[in-house]
């Protein structure tokens, strides 16, 4: 368990921000790294060609540590959707085969597969919401030999349900299905190792659990896809990009590893240093420790909310850092209004209230949420 790290963030005392699954606050050292990077643009004459590569490689190296892989397997992307689209562009599927997604899957990990299925006359097969909250079992049952691609998250985002990706990865390999992952609601707060799961592609936007800025993220691409087709054909992904004077000696070769999948203008001088700094801090704290610390807050919240008639999937079927509370068919609008009045921030989505604390939260933040719930017991 980690001590509260609120001092590193700019969160006023009267704000109970329990909404990391929506957008994490940028910690002070990451903000400083980002603004120092932005300031470089004031003096472009000081920017050297080398700086277009150095920050990107730093980001790649730290992202690789978080994923449990090597920098060579990491591409820099602007969004989860971009990474999923890259996977969909490269993974093969034939007429009559299936692409597996979960019920209520996040749109960025749905539309690219819907388009691919339509283009190839394949079927988009949806894993139904499991009555017993066991998403892993539901996925394993749905992994029949017709499945060519399983496009999944680590945490189902409207329930908090956790998928056992090690078992699912093994089941995919057994039937020859590819595995594409959206880790946006888990990476940084739920332990994940590429080698244990062996996905083909895995993407994570950085602005939630990686505590980074908006509009930057990472894409893992397994070595077998390193000769794949990128979404963009820009200059910086090519093998001659380091020599600025010879860019028009067009090259058929790409930079090494997953770098060919990088987005255009990936050398973002403001976003990359901020994202890298935040990930370094996460590595220093430890993902296991972050998971345990936010998990303990959620256990306390789930227990108190149960007394008020709310229910949620239980661990280990639920990810520790991610709590979706349900009661009846909807959350009363008066409760939403009371939360806003009290500066208690959670996400209310239809029938569920999503609570997602991090290590900047205090026990007092949790008690303030409980006090609001009590008013509507
Ligand atoms: C599961 C999941 N994936 C991805 C995203 C973000 O997608 P994108 O980076 O394409 O905007 C979100 C945002 O809420 C999410 O919940």
- Ligand 1 atom closest to residue 155's alpha carbon, by position in its atom list: 1
For 85-108, what is the mean pLDDT?
98
Q: Is 79 in the pocket of ligand 1 (CB under 6 A)?
A: yes
For 47-65, what is the mean pLDDT?
97
Protein residue whose Cα sits closest to atom 7 of ligand 1: 80
Residues of the chain with pLDDT > 90, as a percent, come to 95
Q: What is the DSSP string of 78-105?
A: S-HHHHHHHHHHHS---TT-EEEEETT-
Task: Give dist(CA 164, CA 78) in Å, integer.
Answer: 27
DSSP 72: G
Task: Give dist(CA 293, CA 282) in Å, integer.
Answer: 13
Within 13 Å and on the Cβ side, how many CA atoms surround 249? Answer: 8
Q: Is 153 in the pocket of ligand 1 (CB under 6 A)?
A: yes
pTM for the full predicted model:
0.98
Q: Is 85 in the pocket of ligand 1 (CB under 6 A)?
A: no
Q: Which range, of 132-141, 258-267, 323-332, averages the lowest pLDDT?
A: 323-332
- Phi/psi region, residue 96 (left: phi>0; alpha: psi -120 to 50; beta: rest), is left
| pLDDT of the residue at 149 | 99
Residue 330's pLDDT band (cuts 50, 70, 90) = confident
Task: Give dist(CA 102, CA 162) in Å, integer.
Answer: 12
Whether the link from the prior residue into 316 is cis, omega within 30° of 0, is yes
**Strands 217-221 and 201-205, sheet pairing:** antiparallel
Long-range contacts of residues 227-231, Cβ cutoff 8 Å, at least 24 apart = 228/86, 228/89, 228/90, 228/260, 228/261, 229/89, 229/90, 230/86, 230/254, 230/260, 230/261, 230/262, 231/82, 231/85, 231/86, 231/89, 231/261, 231/263
Residue 377's pLDDT band (cuts 50, 70, 90) = confident
Q: Has residue 248 got a pLDDT over 80?
A: yes
Residue 150's pLDDT band (cuts 50, 70, 90) = very high
Best CA proximity match to 242, nearest among 28, 48, 7, 14? 48
Residue 269's pLDDT band (cuts 50, 70, 90) = very high
Residue 332's pLDDT band (cuts 50, 70, 90) = confident
For 229-257, what is the mean pLDDT?
97
Question: Which among 108, 161, 203, 209 is the best mutation to test ligand 1's pocket, defined by most ligand atoms within 8 Å of the CB?
Answer: 108
3-class SS of residue 140: helix
Q: Please check whether residue 361 is in contact with residue 345, taking contact to mean a CB–CB distance below 8 angstroms.
A: no
For residue 354, the cross-strand partners are 324, 347
| pLDDT of the residue at 229 | 98
Protein residue whose Cα sits closest to atom 3 of ligand 1: 184
Residue 249's pLDDT band (cuts 50, 70, 90) = very high
Residue 349's pLDDT band (cuts 50, 70, 90) = confident
3-class SS of residue 65: helix
Q: What is the DSSP string of 7-64?
A: GGS---TT-EE-BTTT-PPPPHHHHHHHHHHHHGGG-GGG--TTHHHHHHHHHHHHHH
Q: 187 CA distance to ligand 1 centroid (A)?
A: 12
- Ligand 1 atom closest to residue 81's alpha carbon, by position in its atom list: 10
Best CA proximity match to 147, nearest among 166, 126, 173, 175? 175
Task: Give dist(CA 149, CA 151) in Å, integer.
Answer: 6
Task: Give me the count of residues in the chain.
Answer: 377
Q: 157 CA distance to ligand 1 centroid (A)?
A: 9
Q: Is 108 in the pocket of ligand 1 (CB under 6 A)?
A: yes
| pLDDT of the residue at 16 | 98
Reported as a single tens digit per residue, the pLDDT across 60-76 is 999 999 999 999 999 99
| pLDDT of the residue at 314 | 95
For tokens 């244990």, the residue is 196
Q: Please check whether residue 241 is in contact with residue 104, taking contact to mean a CB–CB distance below 8 angstroms.
A: no
In sequence order, what are the residues at sequence separation of 6 or more whose Cβ sits closer than 8 angstroms to the Cβ of residue 243? Answer: none
Q: Has residue 239 got a pLDDT over 90?
A: yes
For 228-253, what is the mean pLDDT?
97
Q: Name the maximum alpha-carbon separation found in the chain.
A: 70
Question: Which among 84, 155, 185 is the best mutation to test ligand 1's pocket, defined by most ligand atoms within 8 Å of the CB?
Answer: 185
Question: Which among 112, 182, 212, 275 is the best mutation to test ligand 1's pocket, defined by most ligand atoms within 8 Å of the CB?
Answer: 182
Q: 275 CA distance to ligand 1 centroid (A)?
A: 17
Residue 348's pLDDT band (cuts 50, 70, 90) = confident
Residues of the chain with pLDDT > 70, as a percent, come to 100
Residue 130's pLDDT band (cuts 50, 70, 90) = very high
DSSP 262: P
For 121-145, what is the mean pLDDT?
98
- Ligand 1 atom closest to residue 82's alpha carbon, by position in its atom list: 10
Rg (CA), the chain: 21
């Amino acid at each position: 368990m980690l001590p509260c790290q609120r001092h590193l963030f700019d969160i006023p005392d009267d704000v109970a921000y329990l909404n990391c699954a929506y957008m994490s606050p940028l910690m002070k050292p990451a903000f400083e790294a980002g603004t120092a990077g932005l300031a470089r643009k004031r003096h472009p004459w000081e920017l050297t060609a080398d700086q277009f590569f150095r920050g990107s490689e730093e980001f790649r190296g730290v992202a690789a540590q978080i994923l449990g892989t090597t920098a060579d397997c990491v591409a820099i992307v602007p969004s989860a959707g971009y990474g999923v689209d890259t996977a969909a562009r490269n993974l093969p599927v034939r007429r009559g085969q299936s692409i597996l997604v979960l019920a209520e899957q996040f749109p960025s990990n749905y539309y690219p597969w819907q388009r691919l299925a339509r283009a190839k006359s394949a079927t988009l097969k949806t894993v139904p919401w499991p009555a017993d909250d066991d998403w892993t079992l539901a996925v394993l049952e749905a992994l029949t030999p017709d499945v060519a691609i399983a496009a999944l998250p680590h945490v189902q985002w409207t329930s908090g349900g956790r998928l056992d990706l090690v078992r699912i990865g093994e089941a995919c390999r057994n039937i020859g299905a590819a595995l594409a992952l959206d880790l946006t609601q888990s990476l940084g707060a739920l332990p994940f190792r590429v080698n244990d799961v062996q996905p083909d592609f895995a993407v994570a936007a950085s602005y939630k659990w990686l505590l980074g800025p908006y509009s930057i993220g990472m894409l893992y691409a397994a070595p077998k896809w390193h000769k794949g087709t990128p979404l963009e054909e820009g200059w910086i992904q090519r093998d001659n990009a380091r020599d600025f004077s010879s860019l028009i000696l067009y090259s058929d070769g790409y930079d090494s590893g997953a770098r060919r999948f990088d987005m255009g203008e990936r050398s973002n001088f403001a976003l990359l240093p901020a994202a890298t700094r935040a990930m370094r801090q996460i590595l220093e704290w430890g993902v296991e420790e972050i998971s345990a610390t936010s998990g303990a807050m959620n256990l306390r919240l789930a227990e108190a909310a149960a007394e008020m008639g709310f229910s949620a999937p239980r661990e280990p079927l639920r990810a520790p850092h991610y709590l979706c509370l349900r009661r009846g068919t909807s959350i009363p609008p008066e409760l939403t209004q009371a939360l806003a009045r009290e500066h208690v921030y959670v996400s209310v989505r239809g029938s569920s209230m999503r609570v997602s604390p991090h290590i900047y939260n205090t026990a007092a933040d949790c008690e303030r949420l409980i006090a609001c719930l009590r008013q509507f017991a």
